A and B are shown apart, each in its own frame.
Chain A
């Protein structure tokens, strides 16, 4: 017996476009014997259906439970259908999208789906000589392919993507229209007959042969085999590619990119190839093969076959798997690991425009493997790793951004958080939804500023958020702060750098109450005018109180001391905060060999600068202490990229898992608990002088900072009756440190949390600012 017939309108919100959701609903509706239709309406999926009560209940339930793997269903709202119900027996279909309101005025955030790595079924077709898409570099389906990088506007339909210019052939059109086909409403659907095609462009110093399609690919592969560098138009921007096993090729790329030491990411064909280069745990394997296909930081095997200059002296090597058919073809044909790095000069954002790429990368590449599918938005490769068993992002871009992240306290009005200065991201937020824009780089680069402005304009238009409030850092010199100051908005909210760091961690874990925040960082401006970076805060989303810090030291020459850790070491030696007068002279004596090996003039000048306070801003930084220790141990006097010395220190410590702690001491100053590093430095220098293995000392230093952190947290936890500890800041990228601290805090009965969905480094600052600003607006509104 058939029950009564009902008609409903169902609105589905979340990441429900670009993930095969309409085809799924269509199949579901047909399977349940319903009549009706499904369409995209702005960023929402709207279902209008009629059928038995049981079938309609099943539909509403299975919209959640059976949704495609990449969908994130946030909300399913069922209401009675106004107007005429679909007639019995008319069937179920996908209908034309509608726009629910003019862009920018919407009360809801539209969600753009992130790009998806090639799925297994497409991969099978790619290498099946019988398939009509055999070796076609642009094949995709509703489960995979480009999304955020090609979207112009919502709702997500082919006409509002850069695929608009390609007219579907009859075969593709049939697949697109067939609800039973995997490519039913696959918006970027394409085949060799109708879709984008590869093109080869030589440079002055490269080979001239080439052309299109298979010839272009062959030309690129021949060049890579011969040790050349190819500029490859990837999914979210140009990449530079060369043979990772060819020392000369890698060295050439380093010279051309002005990148002497910063590690390159390596793309490998699959998990097996990854395991030849690095140790891969089950969690790491899952991350490598996840649909976002991030670069994953892994413990390298010493006997790996890649060139030494790919990733010199680092504790982790970045590996990733092919994320597009084009990358699969390259890796399969060349059968070797490839260096695949951002197509840019040093800190600039990656090139996406063909003409711009040709100009900017002309001196870097020997040839260009491009194509005629336009990249609308720039998404660099993401970087992730596994910390204490859980995936954690280091750089959030392709495959992750602009997927929304929740805000624990909803933003009552649309807001923009402009982020920091380096590793720049911005966040737009409204209600409970925050969208973190993709990583771009150092705002001091004009190209990064332009990328920031363009990304912000496009993203806020597409998702329909016009900011009325802007959140920014307290540093008046950050170009993001300047940008915020010039923005015509209702209100501006300054958020302290380290509060933003720990809030980013708290917010993504949904912590709304008070917690202990540990922010270990390079530098950020404190609320007292000095630079901070080794801070323990008692915080909630609205405010914070500083309760502990690292001892201070001057930065002789400001940024010059960051670029040269040896100078930072001089800062600690000559001008470290006088917390332990007796040991200070001893430290200087023990540092004699270090002082002796530096240029005499530099030592004398820096000593004088410190004494006179000339261009010597003072910082209580954990990151700078790691730098100084790396220099004192003779590892790095200069840093050619951010964090180089600290990374070298972590690598050196790697071989000594059970190194004993060095001495350390906590003192109280102005009601703050202060870690005084003097005793640690003294012990380290004396042991070094006495011939102790520097690796053991590096490991001992890590153990010391971990022990200090656990002790600080335990004391604050007892005093404040708190259990939750949010660990954030750039120094938390130090994996052995953070894992030791997490274990120590857990052992002490506390509940440590680390950043997972946004980076703990400055890439997460904008999200933290947004979380704080939303909570503050809410509090102000309540009075």
Chain B
């Protein structure tokens, strides 16, 4: 199994193995990170995520913070306000109690800061080697905001693609810390909750928002490719609009990484109706987490399923999903 990096192979694993086993209903819809469940006339949103990050502690956060933000954001990307979280630990025997305390404190602090309470949870200890230190699973429950109806399949030609902030920091930080590559002092993860940004956007122009996604594993490139495939549209983006913090860019350069393929934990991609794009951009910039928001590009009828970037050099480059490890295509 080489399916871990969140690109093409993860998508195939989901499509070929996981979804078919869960029944036809799930297979027919576009895969999203959260689901809407109608209960007594209320649109509830539910999402679950298992966190297996290594290292557990990294500049800008730890696995606890990530577990809270990740699920809060997955709920929020459905245009919902998160209401409650559950947390489950799978702990390898011998895992330091001090570290567990530290992670749990992070969970508490992150949940409090986000204003989303942790309402229940579970803890299991497994034998040595049966887990790698600590796995954290969170489930989030939320309620869809009035006027919000988003799906990757809703992107339409003419729509505008917005990006809420700089990219590349999280994945680069994790890699650098895990492998001790020496960039840890200069870069920090961008992990942060995005539900307030989402609430601001939905309140301002809810129906104009067609798609919201947080470009986590596989980066912005994978997210845009998923949208293009789900909606059968082309997407064109502008390299000039892609902001990569200078130290992150320098690290990516040395490591041979394309920032568009690197995981983020603190920004979102929105596909919106063109008439509302400027207003939404202004709203996003009025929030702390969206103050670097930019107009990334647009949805087009041409080249359905393909994402193309207008480069600084004046060319148009195909932006592909990552296929497993980065195998150079150069001959």
- Are the C-beta atoms of A559 and B328 separated by less than 8 Å? yes
Question: Does B320 contact A477, Cβ atoms closer than 8 Å?
Answer: yes
Is B254 within 8 A of A420, CB to CB? no
* B contact residues around A609 at 8 Å (CB): 179, 181, 255
Q: Kindly state the separation between the CA atoms of A609 and B323 in the bound complex, as whole angstroms.
A: 20
Distance between A762 CB and nearest chain B CB, rounded to angstroms: 5
Cβ contacts B316-331/A at 8 Å (1 or 0 each)? 1110100111111111
B102 close to A (CB within 8 Å): no
Chain B interfacial residues counted at CB < 8 A? 30
- Are A524 and B179 also in contact (CB < 8 A) when A446-B318, A479-B320 are? no
**Chain A residues positioned under 8 Å from B318 (CB to CB):** 443-446, 449, 479
| Cross-chain contact A445 with B316 (CB below 8 angstroms) | yes
Interface residues of B, Cβ cutoff 8 Å to A = 8, 175, 179-182, 253-257, 303, 306, 308, 313-318, 320, 323-331
Q: How far is the CB of A476 from chain B (nearest CB, A)?
A: 5
Chain A residues with CB under 8 Å of B328's CB are 523, 531, 555, 558-559, 561-562, 617
B327-A531 in contact (CB<8A): yes
Are A559 and B180 touching (Cβ within 8 A)?
Answer: no
> Could you say which residues of chain A place their CB within 8 Å of the CB of B324?
476
A601–B254 touching, CB < 8 Å: yes
The answer for the CA separation of A767 and B52 in the assembled complex, in Å, is 46
CA–CA, A525 and B329, complex, Å: 9
Docked Cα-Cα span, A752 to B285, in Å, equals 67
Interface of A is mostly: mixed
Residues of chain A contacted by B325 (CB below 8 angstroms): 615, 617
Q: Tell whether, in the assembled complex, residue B331 and residue A521 are in contact, meaning their CB atoms are under 8 Å apart.
A: yes
With both chains docked as a complex, state the minimum distance between the C-beta of A247 and any C-beta of chain B, in angstroms. Answer: 24
> How many residue pairs, one in A and one in B, have C-beta atoms under 8 Å apart?
124
Could you tell me the distance between the alpha carbons of A602 and B324 in the complex, rounded to whole angstroms? 25
Across the interface, name the chain B residue whose C-beta is closest to A449.
B318
Query: A523, B254: Cβ atoms under 8 Å?
Result: no
Question: Is there a chain B Cβ closer than 8 Å to A258's Cβ?
Answer: yes
Contact A615–B316 (Cβ < 8 Å): no
Judged by a CB distance under 8 angstroms, whether A557 is at the interface is yes
Say yes or no for A730: interface residue by CB 8 A criterion: yes
Q: Are A523 and B323 in contact (CB under 8 A)?
A: no
Please, which residues of chain A bring their CB within 8 A of the CB of B323? Answer: 476-477
Known: A347-B315, A609-B181. A477 touches B327 (CB 8 A): yes
Inter-chain CA distance A608–B183, complex, in Å, is 12
User: Are A617 and B326 neighbours in the complex by a CB distance under 8 Å?
Assistant: yes
A360 partner residues in chain B, CB cutoff 8 A: 314
* Cα of A524 to Cα of B328 in the assembled complex, Å: 9
Which residues of A sit under 8 angstroms from B327, Cβ to Cβ? 475, 477, 525, 531, 558, 617
State A475–B327 Cα separation when bound (angstroms). Answer: 9
Q: A379 to B313: give the CA distance in the assembly, Å.
A: 24
Complex contact A559–B326 (CB within 8 A): yes
Shortest distance in angstroms between A213's beta carbon and chain B's nearest beta carbon? Answer: 32
Q: Which residues of A contact B326 (CB under 8 A)?
A: 558-559, 615, 617
Complex interface residues of chain A between 457 and 478 (CB less than 8 A to chain B): 475-478
User: In the complex, what's the smallest C-beta–C-beta distance from A760 to chain B, in angstroms?
Assistant: 11
| A615 touching B256 in the complex, CB below 8 Å, given contacts A445-B317, A558-B326, A608-B181 | yes
Q: Are B313 and A562 in contact (CB under 8 A)?
A: no
Q: Which of A234-258 contact B (CB under 8 A)?
A: 258
B315 contact set on A, CB distance < 8 A: 345-348, 445, 447
Q: Given the complex of chains A and B, what is the CA–CA distance between A447 and B327 in angstroms?
A: 23
Residue pairs across A and B with Cβ atoms less than 8 A apart, 11 shown, are A258-B314, A360-B314, A421-B330, A444-B329, A446-B306, A446-B308, A477-B329, A479-B318, A524-B331, A562-B330, A617-B325
A446-B313 contact given A557-B256, A601-B182, CB 8 Å threshold: no
Which A residues lie within 8 Å of B181 (CB)?
605, 608-609, 612, 614
Contact A605 B255 (CB under 8 A): yes
A388 interfacial contact with B, CB 8 Å = no
Interface residues of A in 613-637 (CB under 8 A from B): 614-615, 617, 623
CB A755 to nearest CB in B, in angstroms, measures 15
Question: Is A612's CB under 8 angstroms from B179's CB?
Answer: yes
**B331 contacts A422, CB within 8 Å?**
yes
Query: Would B256 and A363 count as touching, CB distance under 8 A?
Result: no
A604 part of interface (Cβ distance < 8 Å): yes
The answer to whether B255 and A557 touch across the interface, beta carbons within 8 angstroms, is yes
For B314, the chain A residues whose CB sits under 8 A away are: 258, 345, 360, 363
Which residues on the B side are within 8 Å of A315 (C-beta)?
none
Q: Closest approach, in angstroms, between the C-beta of A552 and any C-beta of chain B?
A: 15
Q: In the complex, which of the residues B308, B320, B330 contacts A522, with contact meaning CB atoms closer than 8 Å? A: B330
> What 1/0 mask marks residues of chain A from 530 to 565 whose CB sits below 8 Å from any chain B CB?
010000000000000000000000011111111000
Q: A345-B314, A602-B254 are in contact. Are A762 and B331 (CB under 8 A)?
A: yes
Q: Which residues of the other chain, B, contact A602 by a CB distance below 8 angstroms?
A: 254
CA distance A730 to B330 in the complex (A): 11
